[in-house]
Amino acid sequence: MCIETIQGEGGICPVNPEFLELASRLTKQGGALLVLDEIQCGLGRTGRHFAYQHYAVLPDVVTVAKPLACGLPLGAILTTERVASCIHPGMHGTTFGGGPLACAVAIEFLREEKKLLKHVRTLGEYFHAALETLDKKHKSIHDVRGAGLMLAVELVSPELAKAVAKQLLHQGIIINRTHETVLRFLPPYVIQKKHVDQLIGALDAALHKNAESAYEKTLKKEKTATSRRKAVHALPRTLAEICENVRDFVVLEHDERIIGCGALHLYGVHLAEIRSITVDPSSQSNGGGRRLVKALLAQAEKHKVTCVCLFTRIPEFFSRLGFTTAAHQDLPDKIHKDCYQCPRLYRCDEVAMVRGDVPTFAILPPPKNWLKIHA
Ligand SMILES: Cc1ncc(COP(=O)(O)O)c(C=O)c1O
């Protein structure tokens, strides 16, 4: 099983610790190898030799490359003794592999890397804190994340990210835009506070200058969108309007107090979707959510629905209620009706789940840009 510990091109997304620990357990149980791709995040980038050292796992194989020979082409794999014992000299070769010049540079890099780890951590914290300060100031910042000197700012729109990256380039600061909306910062390990300050000042100004015009551009785009898109913006806003549009709206009460609510949408006769679940935090730990989902499932049963689906960020909770994870493309009907209009279409982090059999008629032809969901 191969996992990138902190996704680089994917928008600086660190792997979820529970996911990595489960992957480690499952590979051990199944006799498979856990391979961590640290080509971008390894070799000191996060302030540790390897990014996996921020987690409680020990991989079987780690891949490293980019900074290894400071720009000269060189990659390496590191393995446990057990894995290494399966590979013998001559089994794997490449024309330029292990060239003396690249290897000499790599040895020098490894000497320097050791000395720079503390500096990467200190500067990383300084940089991270400065980005957090910008986050508080600019509504156009959606998220700040990363570790050491592998940091990212996620902005609210691709247009803004593009405009900011372009403006910074004009000021001599090269940053990369990954995953449409993410500004990625991978500075040299020897960067100083003054360089961070310079970037933060320029970024602050670029956000001030571009946020409004990017927002206007987005609005303009919305205006010229298809009638289908417009219909979504005319979605009901009040509780009464919502109730008219959904098949069932369940309100959960306790001691005459509303502690939660959720909606059931019917897609045809066999498929329903649970949406908009909200439970008062004080009732979450004493079974409020569970009671609400059960009430919604009972409603679905009344309508003789054979399959209930939902999209969630807490799959563990729903799996305890009999839901299993499904591929997003198993529920294209839902994707047609909802995801297609969602601004997070390209970076959806919700898990699709189903309870019961997915009716075959739910498999509709994909919308035009459906494949991009999985890109
Ligand atoms: C995390 C990660 N893995 C693998 C690669 C591919 O490396 P190479 O270009 O050496 O094939 C890259 C390149 O950007 C990368 O960022």
- Beta carbon of 8 within 6 Å of any ligand 1 atom: yes
10 Å Cβ neighbour count for 190? Answer: 11
CA distances to 62, 199, 299 from 246, in Å: 50, 48, 12
- Out of 3, 35, 40, mutate this one to test ligand 1's pocket (max ligand atoms within 8 Å of CB): namely 40
- Beta carbon of 65 within 6 Å of any ligand 1 atom: yes
10 Å Cβ neighbour count for 91? Answer: 7
- Beta carbon of 4 within 6 Å of any ligand 1 atom: yes
Question: How far does the centroid of ligand 1 lie from the alpha carbon of residue 65, in Å?
Answer: 8
The structure tokens listed for 301 are 């049963």
Percent of the chain with pLDDT over 70: 80
Question: How far does the centroid of ligand 1 lie from the alpha carbon of residue 273, in Å?
Answer: 39
- Beta carbon of 70 within 6 Å of any ligand 1 atom: no
Q: What is the pLDDT of residue 240?
A: 47
Flag whether pLDDT at 342 surpasses 90. Answer: no
Query: d(Cα 358, Cα 338) in Å, to the nearest integer?
Result: 18
Q: 313-335 pLDDT, tens per residue?
A: 899 999 999 999 887 766 666 66
The structure tokens listed for 30 are 């199944």
- Beta carbon of 366 within 6 Å of any ligand 1 atom: no
Flag whether pLDDT at 302 surpasses 90. Answer: no
Instruction: Answer yes or no: are the C-beta atoms of 264 and 246 closer than 8 Å.
Output: yes
Q: What is the pLDDT of residue 215?
A: 61
The more confidently predicted of residues 277 and 173 is 173
- Tokens 């390496």 found at: 76
For the segment 293-310, the average pLDDT, to the nearest whole number, is: 88
- Beta carbon of 40 within 6 Å of any ligand 1 atom: yes
Q: What is the pLDDT of residue 367?
A: 42
CA atoms within 13 A of residue 230's CA, in its CB half-sphere: 7
- Beta carbon of 37 within 6 Å of any ligand 1 atom: yes
Question: How far does the centroid of ligand 1 lie from the alpha carbon of residue 39, in Å?
Answer: 6
Flag whether pLDDT at 371 surpasses 80. Answer: no
Q: What is the pLDDT of residue 148?
A: 97
- Beta carbon of 39 within 6 Å of any ligand 1 atom: yes
Q: Tell me the fold of 117-222.
A: Aspartate Aminotransferase, domain 1 (3.90.1150)
For the segment 139-157, the average pLDDT, to the nearest whole number, is: 93
Q: What is the pLDDT of residue 365?
A: 45
Per-residue pLDDT band at 62 (split at 50, 70, 90): very high
Residue with CA closest to ligand 1 atom 7: 39
Q: What is the pLDDT of residue 370?
A: 38
CA distances to 146, 258, 354, 363 from 285, in Å: 30, 16, 23, 36
Instruction: Answer yes or no: are the C-beta atoms of 152 and 141 closer than 8 Å.
Output: no
Query: d(Cα 274, Cα 59) in Å, to the nearest integer?
Result: 38
Report the CATH architecture of 2-114: 3-Layer(aba) Sandwich (3.40)
The more confidently predicted of residues 184 and 340 is 184
Q: 349-358 pLDDT, tens per residue?
A: 788 888 987 7
Q: Considering only 15-24, 54-63, 78-87, 267-276, which range has the smallest mean pLDDT? A: 267-276
- One fold for both 2-114 and 228-374? no
Helical (H) or strand (E) element with 102: helix 100-137
Flag whether pLDDT at 337 surpasses 80. Answer: no
Q: 81-124 pLDDT, tens per residue?
A: 999 999 998 888 888 888 999 999 999 999 999 999 999 999 99
Report the CATH architecture of 228-374: 3-Layer(aba) Sandwich (3.40)
For the segment 254-265, the average pLDDT, to the nearest whole number, is: 80
Q: What is the pLDDT of residue 98?
A: 86
Q: Identify the CA nearest to 259 among candidates 283, 291, 239, 243.
A: 283
Going from N- to C-terminal start, the domains of the chain cover 2-114, 117-222, 228-374
- Beta carbon of 367 within 6 Å of any ligand 1 atom: no
- Out of 39, 50, 61, mutate this one to test ligand 1's pocket (max ligand atoms within 8 Å of CB): namely 39
Q: What is the pLDDT of residue 286?
A: 80
The structure tokens listed for 124 are 């990383």
- Beta carbon of 9 within 6 Å of any ligand 1 atom: yes
The structure tokens listed for 86 are 């399966």
- Beta carbon of 210 within 6 Å of any ligand 1 atom: no
The structure tokens listed for 360 are 């075959």
The more confidently predicted of residues 124 and 224 is 124
